[in-house]
A and B are shown apart, each in its own frame.
Chain A
Amino acid sequence: MKTLAYHRPKSLDEVFDLMASSEDAAYIAGGTDLLVSGGASPPTLISLRSVPELMGVDETRIGAATPVADVARHPGLAASHPVLVAAARRLGSEQIRNVATVGGNLCRAAPCADLAPPLLVLEARAEIVGRGGTREVPIDEFFAGPGETVLAPGEVLAAVRLDPPRTGAQGRFLKKGRVRMDLAIASVALLVEAEGGRCRRIRIAAGSVAPTPLRLQPVEALLEGAELTDEILEEAAALAAATVRPITDVRSTESYRRRIVGVYVKRGVAQALAGGEA
């Protein structure tokens, strides 16, 4: 099926009018996923590239239409939320990052979405708009399954909202791909606050190891308040491996994914404690 109509609305009102008047329409943003699916493109596409309400990026709000490259190269975000910038830099190639959008990465709801684990550990919120107005949903509740989100038909992800950075929090993003631009075999983001080797607060999330990007709360509970010794990190790695629910597919196997998530939790905490770049 070929696309028969391609609309480029210039406002959210126009977006909703077009969606309401079409039975077979789908939204398109950067299109770097949608256009790969070959012959099966929807007959009507509504482009979200030229909608001002979805644009703009700063340290508190990232418009959904923001290209991933604009996050990867944002000096303010690099200072405030380096774990997100680190993940943006590892998404695809420069060609993909220049076009793929933050909103598209989340709304496709792939388990491997590179921006999801860092946004989960930052406890970001999804700003969702529809005809009826705006609502906010914690990113943790945004993903409903592989390719599924909590967006109601016609609703649009307008932006991702970020809290101010927490003092002393050290973030890390680790990603395993066959080659550098691949989709993740597994990925881990974490945000650690530690004092004198003791973990005060930690947030951990993993990608490509469950039907949705996943917060690893049992591992967080194990580590919070604990002395971050080699022994407890071994225990955390084993618990992370047991907590995730990966599958075997063309990219990797269930057992390898469990193992790499454990290794990345351990390695990520150690790197975060050592300081330096996310």
Chain B
Amino acid sequence: MTLDISFSLNGAEVVVGVRPHQRLLDVLRRTLGMTGTKEGCGEGECGACTVLVDGRVVNACLYPALEIEGRSVTTIEGLLGADHQLSPLQESLVARGAIQCGFCSPGVILSAHALLDRNPNPSDAEIRDALVGNLCRCTGYVQIVEAVQEAADRLGSESDV
């Protein structure tokens, strides 16, 4: 049994056929070919599949696809600017060496993005807390935390102007 559902994906309305057992992750990667969202553990531990639903981070591997109807989903592809420009947060991560193999990066970026949206001036502890659900096996996290802090500083000073 396939049901057609509609939702907003990175600002565009999409209609997809979804089966009852499918996860949001399956719909994004297989049905829609949006492979920026990664599958790691498949059980909500690693955060590689992190996406935003109505502005909040969720694990797409634990999100029943049918529940997405009428909601707004942002994946890593949705952060890319019109001229393929990286966001200030992404630029900071690149500059600080916070991206190595890159598998965790889409999830890390979306978690940090959601944090800065609700708390533009986070402490180190708040950054670490927001990233608890994103495992990185390369960087050791220090560069990631520094990069998010730097992005917060840059975004803060830009909005002050």
Known: A3-B21, A4-B21, A94-B133. 14 other contacts (CB 8 A): A8-B66, A31-B63, A32-B44, A32-B59, A35-B61, A45-B20, A47-B66, A49-B67, A92-B133, A94-B111, A95-B47, A95-B50, A99-B63, A180-B132
B-side interface residues, number (CB < 8 Å)? 27
Within 8 Å of chain B (Cβ to Cβ): is A6? yes
Within 8 Å of chain A (Cβ to Cβ): is B152? no
Once the chains bind, are A5 and B20 in contact (CB under 8 Å)?
A: yes
Q: Cβ of A265: which chain B residues have Cβ within 8 Å of it?
A: none
- Decide: A93 near B133, CB < 8 A? Known: A8-B67, A32-B44, A99-B59: yes
5 interchain pairs, CB-CB under 8 A: A4-B21, A32-B62, A36-B43, A93-B134, A96-B62
Once the chains bind, are A181 and B133 in contact (CB under 8 Å)?
A: yes
A34 CA / B43 CA spacing, docked (Å) = 10
Within 8 Å of chain B (Cβ to Cβ): is A189? no
Bin the interface of chain A by size: 20 to 34
Question: Looking at the complex, which one of A47, A93, A180 makes contact with B64 (CB distance below 8 Å)?
Answer: A47
Question: Looking at the complex, which one of B57, B59, B66 makes contact with A6 (CB distance below 8 Å)?
Answer: B66
Q: Cβ of A49: which chain B residues have Cβ within 8 Å of it?
A: 67
Residues of A155-192 contacting chain B, CB below 8 A: 180-181
Once the chains bind, are B20 and A95 in contact (CB under 8 Å)?
A: no
Q: Cβ of B129: which chain A residues have Cβ within 8 Å of it?
A: 94, 180
Residues of B64-122 contacting chain A, CB below 8 A: 64, 66-67, 111, 114
- Decide: A181 near B64, CB < 8 A? Known: A93-B47, A94-B57, A95-B59: no
What mask results when residues 29 to 58 of chain A are scored 1 for a CB within 8 Å of chain B, else 0? Answer: 001100110100100010101000000000
Q: How far is the CB of A123 from chain B (nearest CB, A)?
A: 29
Q: How far is the CB of A181 from chain B (nearest CB, A)?
A: 5
Residues of A79-125 contacting chain B, CB below 8 A: 92-96, 98-99
Within 8 Å of chain A (Cβ to Cβ): is B58? yes
| CB nearest neighbor in A for B47 | A95
- What 4 A-B pairs come out closest when comparing CB atoms? A93-B133, A6-B20, A3-B21, A2-B21
Q: How far is the CB of B28 from chain A (nearest CB, A)?
A: 15
Once the chains bind, are B133 and A36 in contact (CB under 8 Å)?
A: no
Residue with the highest number of chain B CB atoms closer than 10 Å, among A28, A45, A95, A181: A95
| CB nearest neighbor in B for A3 | B21
Q: Cβ of B57: which chain A residues have Cβ within 8 Å of it?
A: 94-95, 98
Within 8 Å of chain B (Cβ to Cβ): is A19? no
Within 8 Å of chain A (Cβ to Cβ): is B38? no
Within 8 Å of chain A (Cβ to Cβ): is B130? yes
Once the chains bind, are B56 and A98 in contact (CB under 8 Å)?
A: yes
Once the chains bind, are B133 and A35 in contact (CB under 8 Å)?
A: no
Within 8 Å of chain A (Cβ to Cβ): is B1? yes
Residue with the highest number of chain A CB atoms closer than 10 Å, among B44, B45, B61: B44
